[in-house]
């Protein structure tokens, strides 16, 4: 009887290590706002306009909601602010059309 060579087990590839926590934050910031958050901010802006409040009523313009106070990136804050403004402007324009009709 011949000695059969035993096959050597192949090493299993190891998965890559997880990214550091700060990398996850920067990835999330690169993706921008979620559709749900953007829609909610637009809804809040529209409700503000429907109540007759000026665009200066945007709560994101308050010092306590600025990036220096909240720790969020300026880009994320800017996207959130723009979403609120867009909702306010859309409702304001709809209100003007309704009055003129």
- Spatial separation of the C-alpha atoms in residues 48 and 84, rounded to whole Å: 9
Segment 32-75, tens digit of pLDDT? 899 999 999 999 999 999 999 999 999 999 999 999 999 999 99
Query: Quick check: 3 pLDDT over 90?
Result: no
- SS3 state at 93: helix
**Residue 1: predicted pLDDT:** 54
What was the pLDDT predicted at 26? 42
Q: Is the pTM of this model over 0.95?
A: no
């Amino acid at each position: 009887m011949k000695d059969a060579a035993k096959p050597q087990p192949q090493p299993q590839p190891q998965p890559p290590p997880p990214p550091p926590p700060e990398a996850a934050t920067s990835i999330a910031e690169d993706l921008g706002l979620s559709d749900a958050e953007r829609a909610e901010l637009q809804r809040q802006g529209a409700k503000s306009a429907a109540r007759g409040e000026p665009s200066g009523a945007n709560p994101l313009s308050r010092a306590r909601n600025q990036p220096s106070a909240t720790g969020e990136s300026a880009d994320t804050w800017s996207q959130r602010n723009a979403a609120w403004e867009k909702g306010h402007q859309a409702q304001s324009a709809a209100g003007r059309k309704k009055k003129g009709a």
